[in-house]
Structure 1
């Protein structure tokens, strides 16, 4: 009996049919004669299957195992139509850091020569050779009219499952997501010609399992406000603003009303931090300028609305009427976002804190509030919402909506909101891409833990902060309020590893292209004319958990060159007495993969990563802030108080640079690390968590207060001296 197989250049589907036909055609006599050779037949079939992949091709991506949340079902029917995307490898990503340093480092002759959005797209688009080579492969393989995206980042086309399998020498199955019930096609591996591998980032549908929203979402109204989900859920366990579970956050409560004070009396700043105290701490004179196009940007989400009654109460009672009643921010509401409320009881403590700290520093300049996502997403306590940062980035850079990197094109389905969003209070319009011009500074008092967010998601987003930095946008993020870890969860400590003792770094401040702000405090009995200390409020009535400045080292990102010397000095002169490990998370093959810190630590017994990006970069006061919220005067705090203070100071510096014909400062960090003398070094305090006292504030940079707090006159002199 002769077992005939299809020619090696045949498709996998044709090979399989040939093998099955030949085996079924074997007679009983054949089986009797060949009972000893059936294993050989099977082996030959397998070998022929393997040879079906031409030698000119190679595996481009492979999934080693299927996540437990997914169930592999049957083959995708051969005539089912699949919408295919071929993500093209961007050019010059390996040069991106140098491009940013060229316009951001104070020693560069091109400092301040910011790029346009068109220049950014042109610099990083796939090369013409790459586009032509991939297009030729598709057409020669029988794909008719593949379309190239507007930003030239990917090709799209429709193909039957049979055509896709033939193109990629793959086998597509349906997979069902046990969480949502959604079903999607995927393969375990696929092949492409070796000659074009360098031009292709990834192909979808491919090995990635992306959770579609096909299950049932909670109806709006089931949660009156965003609630804290259980600690085992992803991304829902972060901190909205500097929120802490189990309390009313920000750290504001009617029971904490301070004793009556004179808000211009600097001797009482250890009781309540007022605008006068902030001005004295950082030597900030009253603002007089309001350059067009330099509105101060503040990001809000999570049902954080501002209201006019609280603003007017603050302006009249705490600023002494210097800011007129009726003054209010510009609202840039994105994808159904709502920034303002007329219901005083619905005002958000985070929104009021941000505005009431920023206005006294920047007024008469305006403030722009970036409020993201519709009320359904802001209300729904799902397990994937990542604070809407991608919604903001899409709105201020249209190319990000279709940017392909690390196996993702555009927003990550099942993680980021999906629009149109039909239903009550859903945004039923299309995703807003590039509809707003960014403010020069954006203060973002939100974040979570990097352990809870997929590696690829973080890296793609970090690239966008770099690209917007090239265009002069300063992203100022809060470093977190739980020291070297996270807040305790019902099922754990907020720390990592099998013993719950490994430090748990924060995201997005782990990205080296944002400025991370930690928190300081004027302690009782001290004044604004003395050095501040790192903030620390111990657990106890009325708070159930410690509050300390978020700081540490990333498990995903390495230090940028501008920071390396500062970190080296910290370790050389103030080496922490904790065991450490020295390994960063590898680039994942799946966009849902998170950093496995237990594997990184291995058998070292280490509890922090010695080779990661260090944060925070700087600090500012973040405790006992005098505010009005929901009609009540009280105290608030957190690194999300520190962040708008620092961001507003940078906005003031931009005012002065613009007044003399210079550009905004853009990405700050290289200049700050090159000139730490323009900051007030903080040398007292720690940021405890994970069963330790955390790190210590020491001379020079440290992972508690960074380089220190702002000294406005010195910062202004430095940045005005630059081109």
Structure 2
């Protein structure tokens, strides 16, 4: 930000410092342990101008009704099924109550004067104004200091705690600059050192490991070969498994039904895509590529030797399923941040959500307004993208596939809850979000937390994030086992240590420690416990530290569905290889839903949006997976079973049955 100087008396500082907090005020926020990396230094000069943003509480009644609204447009039995909202509808429904806006505005004016210009932002979530440090200290009964991050060379202005009147507290979610502060973009203090990301993503630098790769022992002789699908899964194998055919290359498709794919710190190569098309889908012309929606400096493609296994995999799987429908690449964040620059890769998805929903940039919920200055990138970035943070510049596609994530334990609950609300709002607007469920069974990444990635001394199962959010669709992984064919039922992936892939791999699944079982899933989960009760002690409400239990008995179940995720034929770095991971499963299932949307659009209907209520009410449109486990944390994990299970969910797609079902809905 730019620092403006105004001629205020230095004595003001002493007056503020000496003023006692009135009994009518209460502490609204106080610094927590996450802020210890920042060192408090000099008191901020009273004349420094600060951009003040007061996040107003979302409409309480709306937040209570939000789940019902989503079910109203998503449940197959609802009269309003498919009648998705516009973004303006969402903003109007969730905007703060008028009395909250009035009360907070009157409070500001009573302290700082009627002439203070206060703006109510377009998304209705903020009151915004500029104030000097002295004015803000008077308003909030606090003191502001410079806080320095020695490792990153950053500086922000922040306070240890701040106070608001008791009658105002119920109307305010969060104030900035508050305990999280506002960054000072002083060039002499912004020299940053590179720190590699501490995560190894299941498709990038976040969360799970990159897709598992190994040299392919067998190159299928032609694109239609099915005899060796137990060795290498090609597009023809997927067509046989899920009973669909490629579209005609000349089919007329909707220009408004592109399939979105999220990428972060991993990039596709056009040469790899061309090699794949040439060998397996000759009906797709070389040069076919996604439309780039670059976010905050994200760009692609790259040279073949710089290609990433995740991006190549996503597009080599999705494009053959939906072509001539198109794909859209949401390439997120500049290279500096995407590869761990400044250590701010703890968070994930906030800048992506900013770019597809401008209101998210300023959305206040769960003690967080806008992006987290510690967990998320800060733009402009002198080491990369020098533009402003991108807010609302891209329209979300009808379907978005995400093969990235972390463990629940890695991020604060409020950070995950705020994002989960956004996924709910996207569902209201008709967007289907699919997320890979993870590659470590019931555990986490080795060395992340406990040595084996599990909780409480390496014994408690570690749920995944954002998978635990109830308003998206999680996709687990299945496999054609050696000696089996595509005409036989698949099994859950269980690749044990010593497998040719890099280490063990099993389909991520379990129960959230943060989010409860959603109503649409309650019957399926109850049936699983009644008929196939796991042989492990459990706990309730996420309280694993006060229990001997290994999993949360009343948490949201993961995953919802599954798709093939092992021995996928791919081209990466110019070489034919086999890859595996739920990173593959998500774009496969998502692409099939994108095709269903295409058929609905042709029939004059809208996209299917959030599909979980339909699938849980009609599990017969999926191929139930009854064989396999997802080991981790020193156990065999959970077991597949008839019906829903926390390994492969409801099962894999039976495309004709799914299509018939969704076409029957209005």
TM-score > 0.5 by shorter chain: yes
Per-residue deviation, 1:445: 1.1
Query: Is 1:296 matched up with 2:256?
Result: no
Of residues 539, 563, 572 in structure 2, which corresponds to 1:581? Answer: 539
Change in Cα spacing, 1:313 to 1:116, as seen in structure 2 (3 Å) is same
SS of corresponding position for 2:632: coil
The residue that corresponds to 2:278 in the other structure is 316
Is the CA contact (8 Å cut-off) linking 2:206 and 2:345 kept in structure 1? no
Change in Cα spacing, 1:561 to 1:366, as seen in structure 2 (3 Å) is same
Is the CA contact (8 Å cut-off) linking 1:211 and 1:414 kept in structure 2? no
Query: Is 1:679 matched up with 2:622?
Result: yes
Per-residue deviation, 1:197: 2.5
Alignment of 1:496-507 (within 5 A): 496-507=454-465
The residue that corresponds to 1:275 in the other structure is 235
The alignment of Structure 1 onto Structure 2 pairs a total of residues equal to: 645
The residue that corresponds to 1:45 in the other structure is none
The residue that corresponds to 1:124 in the other structure is 94
The residue that corresponds to 1:595 in the other structure is none
Change in Cα spacing, 1:391 to 1:170, as seen in structure 2 (3 Å) is closer
Is the CA contact (8 Å cut-off) linking 1:242 and 1:445 kept in structure 2? no
Is the CA contact (8 Å cut-off) linking 1:537 and 1:546 kept in structure 2? yes
Q: Which moved more, 1:481-490 or 1:544-553?
A: 481-490
Per-residue deviation, 1:462: 1.2
Of residues 287, 290, 302 in structure 2, which corresponds to 1:329? Answer: 290
Query: Is 1:101 matched up with 2:71?
Result: yes
The residue that corresponds to 1:689 in the other structure is 632
Per-residue deviation, 1:72: 4.4
Q: Which moved more, 1:527-536 or 1:410-419?
A: 410-419
The residue that corresponds to 1:360 in the other structure is 320
Change in Cα spacing, 1:385 to 1:442, as seen in structure 2 (3 Å) is same
Of residues 487, 490, 494 in structure 2, which corresponds to 1:536? Answer: 494
The residue that corresponds to 1:473 in the other structure is 431
The residue that corresponds to 1:638 in the other structure is 581
CA–CA distance in structure 2, aligned partners of residues 184 and 433 of structure 1: 22
The residue that corresponds to 1:90 in the other structure is 58
Of residues 394, 403, 407 in structure 2, which corresponds to 1:445? Answer: 403
Change in Cα spacing, 1:98 to 1:183, as seen in structure 2 (3 Å) is same
Is the CA contact (8 Å cut-off) linking 1:487 and 1:545 kept in structure 2? no
SS of corresponding position for 1:267: coil
Change in Cα spacing, 1:109 to 1:202, as seen in structure 2 (3 Å) is same
CA–CA distance in structure 1, aligned partners of residues 16 and 363 of structure 2: 37
CA–CA distance in structure 1, aligned partners of residues 597 and 590 of structure 2: 11
Per-residue deviation, 1:345: 1.6
Is the CA contact (8 Å cut-off) linking 1:237 and 1:448 kept in structure 2? no
Change in Cα spacing, 1:356 to 1:80, as seen in structure 2 (3 Å) is closer
Change in Cα spacing, 1:416 to 1:642, as seen in structure 2 (3 Å) is same
Of residues 160, 163, 172 in structure 2, which corresponds to 1:200? Answer: 172
Is the CA contact (8 Å cut-off) linking 2:31 and 2:179 kept in structure 1? yes
SS of corresponding position for 1:145: coil
CA–CA distance in structure 1, aligned partners of residues 205 and 367 of structure 2: 31
Unpaired segments ≥5 residues, structure 2: 1-11
The residue that corresponds to 2:334 in the other structure is 374
Give deviations 1:148-202, integer Å, cap 9, x for gaps: 2222211222334443333223344554445435444444443323333222112
CA–CA distance in structure 1, aligned partners of residues 276 and 462 of structure 2: 37
Alignment of 1:397-408 (within 5 A): 397-408=357-368
Query: Is 1:112 matched up with 2:54?
Result: no
Change in Cα spacing, 1:623 to 1:127, as seen in structure 2 (3 Å) is same
SS of corresponding position for 2:415: helix
The residue that corresponds to 2:482 in the other structure is 524
Query: Is 1:416 matched up with 2:376?
Result: yes
Per-residue deviation, 1:216: 4.3
Give deviations 1:526-557, integer Å, cap 9, x for gaps: 11111110001111154442100011111111
Change in Cα spacing, 1:382 to 1:638, as seen in structure 2 (3 Å) is farther
Per-residue deviation, 1:17: 4.6
CA RMSD of aligned residues (A): 2.6
Give deviations 1:231-270, integer Å, cap 9, x for gaps: xx5xx3543359998x9x42223x3342554442222211
Give deviations 1:533-588, integer Å, cap 9, x for gaps: 0001111154442100011111111121111121111112211111222123xxxx
CA–CA distance in structure 2, aligned partners of residues 104 and 244 of structure 1: 30
The residue that corresponds to 1:590 in the other structure is none
Change in Cα spacing, 1:554 to 1:396, as seen in structure 2 (3 Å) is same
TM-score by length of 1: 0.84
CA–CA distance in structure 2, aligned partners of residues 519 and 566 of structure 1: 19
Change in Cα spacing, 1:611 to 1:384, as seen in structure 2 (3 Å) is farther
Q: Which moved more, 1:63-72 or 1:101-110?
A: 63-72
CA–CA distance in structure 2, aligned partners of residues 633 and 155 of structure 1: 55
Per-residue deviation, 1:496: 3.2
Unpaired segments ≥5 residues, structure 1: 1-10, 19-48, 585-599
CA–CA distance in structure 1, aligned partners of residues 259 and 368 of structure 2: 31
CA–CA distance in structure 2, aligned partners of residues 374 and 138 of structure 1: 38
CA–CA distance in structure 1, aligned partners of residues 561 and 448 of structure 2: 32
Of residues 37, 54, 59 in structure 2, which corresponds to 1:69? Answer: 37
Change in Cα spacing, 1:238 to 1:357, as seen in structure 2 (3 Å) is closer
Of residues 334, 343, 352 in structure 2, which corresponds to 1:392? Answer: 352
The residue that corresponds to 2:193 in the other structure is 218
Give deviations 1:660-693, integer Å, cap 9, x for gaps: 1000001111111111111111111001111111
CA–CA distance in structure 1, aligned partners of residues 471 and 548 of structure 2: 30
Of residues 24, 28, 38 in structure 2, which corresponds to 1:60? Answer: 28
CA–CA distance in structure 1, aligned partners of residues 300 and 348 of structure 2: 14
Query: Is 1:714 matched up with 2:657?
Result: yes
Change in Cα spacing, 1:394 to 1:147, as seen in structure 2 (3 Å) is same
The residue that corresponds to 1:432 in the other structure is 390
CA–CA distance in structure 2, aligned partners of residues 349 and 203 of structure 1: 41
